[in-house]
Structure 1
Amino acid sequence: MSKKLEAEFVKQLNENQNIVHKICRLYTNDQHAHNDLFQEVTVQLWRAYPKFRGDSKFSTWMYRVALNTAITLYRKSKRRVKTQDYDSVQFKIEDQQEDDEQMEQLTLLYGAVKQLNDIEKALVFLYLEDKNYREIAETMGITEVNARVKMNRIKTKLTKIINP
């Protein structure tokens, strides 16, 4: 691939990497697994990038690839994510982390969300990212009405988890 394409990809990934970190937090339980999943999602994004047509925003496309990768790997293994070593593909990506107070709140929220099934986790994630139901439906490949119904059911379920 061309250096221009690689530069565009790295720029987009740097600008939107928090999406991948948040998805990794939903589908992993420790930092090592988080790092492995982040690497695997990055590789899948890189492989798919030449096919990105720009029909949607990069972040919407990134959500879809990252969620599909995480869900697929999670379902296949139900344990530590297996990754491949790609020495030929190296990206310099700065790690962006949340501050301590935000991390505590996120840890509590992620604890409740981790009790949901894979699809519910993905829907909650997109909802918490302030995606509207049209964007959620587009990313998940479901209808807007279905996204609304599922989110209402998930909200009820989360309320019962948090306030038993």
Structure 2
Amino acid sequence: MNQNELEQQFVALVDDHKQMIYKVCLMYASDDEGISDLFQEVALNLWKAFPRFRGVCKTSTWVYRISVNTCISHLRHQGTQPLTVPLTMSMTDLFPDESEREQLRELYQLINRLGELERALILLWLDDRSYEEIAEMLDISVSNVGVRINRIKAKLKQMSNN
């Protein structure tokens, strides 16, 4: 595979998974600039790892894991400046309706108060992932996914009422 084909496949991969990547970044950053920086850092890490991706797991699983690991690593090294690639993404591009953006911000503020596994579970559920996919991505049983998601939804409802 030549470099041009590799780049085209990579751009398609990022485009196919941009909302999931964005949602993961939203979980770890509080403003548009921070989200954009994290998105670019995830894209860079995906690009570095892309030639080694063998398809052993689903592409979405691979992208999700790199996204979460990049964001967690970024939090650990917050003082360092991330490298950037020419890839921009804004909340306005993904969610043009202002009221939808505001509801999403409020939801994510509540979600950010959850534990790390709870955040990952609800993020994947909100991304319309099946319980089987979530179980595979997080290495837990399918029945555990269902139980935890129900508990998280109840917890979020209680938090929103307070």
Q: TM over 0.5: same fold? A: yes
**Identity of paired residues, percent?**
36
* Secondary structure of residue in 1 paired with 2:94: coil
> Residues 71 and 118 of structure 1 are in contact (CA less than 8 Å); yes or no, is this contact kept in structure 2?
no
Q: TM-score, normalised by structure 2?
A: 0.84
Q: Distance in 1 between matches of 2:89 and 2:154?
A: 37
1:2-23 per-residue CA deviation (whole Å, 9 max, x = no partner) reads: 2221221012112321211111
1:9-68 per-residue CA deviation (whole Å, 9 max, x = no partner) reads: 012112321211111111111122112211111111112212222234422321121122
* Secondary structure of residue in 2 paired with 1:61: helix
- Is the alpha carbon distance of 1:28 and 1:84 closer, same or farther for their aligned partners in structure 2, counting shifts above 3 Å? closer
Q: Pairwise mapping of residues 15-164 of structure 1 onto structure 2 (< 5 A)? A: 15-74=16-75, 76-77=76-77, 80=78, 82-85=80-83, 90-92=85-87, 96-99=93-96, 100-164=98-162
Paired AA for residue 68 in structure 1? N
Aligned residues: 158
Q: Which runs of at least 4 in structure 1 moved beyond 4 Å after TM superposition?
A: 90-95
Q: TM-score, normalised by structure 1?
A: 0.83
Paired AA for residue 148 in structure 2? K
- Is the alpha carbon distance of 1:81 and 1:119 closer, same or farther for their aligned partners in structure 2, counting shifts above 3 Å? farther
- Is the alpha carbon distance of 1:109 and 1:46 closer, same or farther for their aligned partners in structure 2, counting shifts above 3 Å? same
Paired AA for residue 98 in structure 1? F
Query: Unaligned regions of 5+ residues in structure 1, if any?
Result: none
Give the alignment's Cα RMSD to 1 decimal.
Answer: 2.2
* Secondary structure of residue in 2 paired with 1:85: coil
Query: Unaligned regions of 5+ residues in structure 2, if any?
Result: none
